[in-house]
Amino acid sequence: MAFRQPECHQQMLFPPSLDEYISPDDPVRAYDAFVEALDFEALQIACDPQQPGCPAYHPKTMLKILVYGYSYGVRSSRKLERALYHNLSFIWLAGGLKPDFKTLSRFRKDNRKALKDVLKHCARLCIELKVIAGNTLFVDGTKLRANASLSRSWTGEQCRKQIEQVDQRIDEILQECEKTDEQEAGQDSMVHLQEDLAAHQSRKAKIEAALRKLQAEDLTRVNLTDPDCAPMHGRQGSHAGYNGQIVVDNQHGLIVHTDVVNDNNDCKQFAPQITAAAETTGHQPEGAGAEGGYDSGPELETRAAVATEVLVPARGQAHPSPAEPFAKEGFTYLAQEEVYVGPAGHRLTYRRT
């Protein structure tokens, strides 16, 4: 059987247009039409074709690239730039234009609020198109490992002890520098001592910043490498990390809200995440659910307010423990007689404390 042989250098008399490479039902066309329909004046995105200087990329083109890339999980500006050279859907969406990563990043920073509003409009458009119902939402979390060591998470007492040690070391270095200057007057200074001094001063500044963060936010620990992460305990052991939260719609399982927090568990996350998802969809859900990790007695009233019906199993229901033959639940206490009646009917009388 003969094989079809590729030919990269085959010349064409009439090369096809970019539009012929994208099928009529490709999802990228929906993103293109969505951005074209947006009111950029209402979004407060500047579109001035008369501005002086080198011709700039049109904000619609930039917004199309960002929204389409973020929808498919491409968050890096450098990866978006690479896609504009190698991915046909991106090439078609940008019309062959190739803004670099710095331009993409700058546009995102300058229009952060507008981009957030656009993503909300996109979710509500999905509701209008009946892709997202928004009536029933489910939330779940996952632990994300941070690029930091758990041993770098220090308490306030540890920070204060380290500052004392660093201060002591700085004093020793200064005394050594003075002694060296006296002994070697007229010669070059000991550069390595000055570098050592600068390193300790820089370390002291980091520890003092961590201590201020502990006191300002009333935290028990703070990580010197990544101050935003927190100690996490999961199936893979304990490590410094984050708690990622995702809210999905029941109809097709599409994500309507994401968040990253540094709480070690999910007990206080149900109400905030469902509320944020409701702000994105534009209306309060009829039902909201989560697994047993979100169960919390103090949060019952707050959870009940975010949806008409809330489905969160109690911890005992989600993880039932095996029945014990002498569990406390099997004994009945008779206060008047000061006796316990066991599972088999035997009476346990009080003798002494």
Identify the DSSP state of 298. G
Alpha-carbon distance of 85 to 101, in angstroms, equals: 12
Q: What is the pLDDT of residue 126?
A: 80
Question: Can you point out the beta strands (E) in the chain?
Answer: 136-145, 153-154, 222-223, 230-234, 237-249, 255-261, 287-290, 309-311, 332-334, 339-341, 347-349
Domain boundary among 219, 246, 273: 219
> Same structural domain for residues 86 and 177?
no
Chain mean pLDDT for the chain = 82
Tens of pLDDT, residue by residue over 292-351, are 888 887 777 888 888 888 888 877 665 666 667 777 878 888 888 889 998 888 888 888
The pLDDT score that the predictor gives to residue 158 is 73
Predicted local confidence at residue 196, as pLDDT: 67
Same structural domain for residues 208 and 242?
A: no
Q: Are residues 214 and 237 in the same domain?
A: no
Please count the residues of the chain.
353
Note whether 83 and 52 are same-domain residues.
yes
| Each residue's pLDDT tens digit, 115-166 | 888 888 888 888 887 878 888 889 998 888 888 777 777 677 777 777 777 7
pLDDT, average across residues 267-292: 89
Q: For the purposes of burial, counting CB atoms within 10 Å of the CB of 270, is it exposed (0-12), middle (13-18) or buried (19 or more)?
A: buried
Q: Quick check: is 336 in a domain?
A: no
Residue 126 in any domain: the answer is yes
284 & 182 share domain? no
Q: Is residue 174 part of a domain?
A: yes
Give the angle 43-27-31 at the CA atoms, nearest 5°: 10
pLDDT at position 85: 95
pLDDT at res. 320: 62
Owning domain of residue 90: 18-131
pLDDT in tens, 33-59: 989 988 888 888 877 777 777 888 888
Residues 189 and 245 in one domain: no
Over 90: is that where the pLDDT of 98 sits? yes
Give pTM, 2 decimals: 0.63
pLDDT band at 102 (very low <50, low <70, confident <90, very high): very high
